[in-house]
Amino acid sequence: MVPFAGWTLPLHYGQGHLQSHLHTRRHCSLFDVSHMLQTLVYGRDRIRFMESLVVGDIAELKPGQGTLTLLTNEKGGITDDLIVTNTSEDYLYVVSNAACADKDLAILRDRAAQLQATGSDVHLEVSDNALLALQGPSMARVLQTGLSDDLAKLSFMNSITTTVFGVPGCRVTRCGYTGEDGVEISVPAGRAVELAEKLLGVPDVWLAGLAARDSLRLEAGLCLYGNDIDETVTPAEAGLMWTLGKRRRAAMDFPGAAVIMAQVKEKPRRRRVGLTSVGPAIRPHMAILGPEGRPVGTVTSGCPSPCLGKNIAMGYVEAAHSRAGTELTVEVRKKQHPAVITKMPFVPTQYYLAK
């Protein structure tokens, strides 16, 4: 057990990190992610409220559809990355990172108060639900036995409220942080243990902790807030411009729009890239060096890949060195080791897109 964002969380369970990681890729694992902040946004002006804070096109989301979006500041930096779902029940369901929970909630509450003062109809409710993530190729087979709804109709980034293994009022969202087909289940806190035990009653399902969560998300090329993105990084530098809706780009009505769109036009000076190497593992804060030995960037995440049998990492380098296939070096314990800029995801993602 380790401290994380004010919580005590499991680093790994009895099987160990490597076995847990590979089990998730081959079968499925259950992650307790109840440390994430879950917020419900009500009121007829809820979409206008959300779009005043994030870069995404929330208005275009169909009922039950969600999107990854970015909370930005006036300098164009990323305050947090979060998932916003336009539920079928007339509210927005927002899931934010635990490490940013206090900051995010203060921003949401301040903005809601500003809009309420001008007569807007918006109000927030913090959910005390637990959040369980079931991730891996056998997820659908395992979960379907406890659902009356047809999972085959639930596409990636879509959400329904349903009964799961006899527990009513659960929100099942087809998403996750592993690159595998998976769901996150928002479950009334008093019945979370009951639901977890029912899922773990299936031999295919193992518990997994933070260590596997980190290596799985890195293989999938997904950012960790506080490592790979933060308030000093813009969406253009992070390779996350796909989160900006076309309408929002044109309107430039989100925080930091002028800075971000100017970067798009002029091209950012640095870019987030993937790296692979052999030899000693690459870790955060290590220097990335160009051909002449000059520092050209910094590693933000790194670990040995259990699936690939080589080191993988993410970091920022000067734009001139960001093309896939570029050979650089990484400084590990004052020694230089070859590394290659590699396209992400490192391991192909398996997100489910309903036909």
Q: Which residues are annotated as a binding site for substrate?
A: 184
H/E stretch holding 171: strand 167-173
State the DSSP code for 120: -
Given a contact cutoff of 8 angstroms between Cβ atoms, the answer to whether 319 and 251 are in contact is: no
What sign does the CA torsion over 15, 16, 22, 25 have?
positive
Q: Tokens 């998932």 identify what position? A: 83
Decide: helix, strand or coil at residue 7. strand
- Please classify residue 117 by burial: count the beta carbons closer than 10 Å to its beta carbon, then call 0-12 exposed, 13-18 middle and 19+ buried: exposed
Residue 84 β-bridge partners? 67, 94
Q: How many Å apart are CA 94 and CA 192, to the nearest integer?
A: 19
Q: Which is it for strands 159-164 and 167-173: parallel, antiparallel or unpaired? A: antiparallel
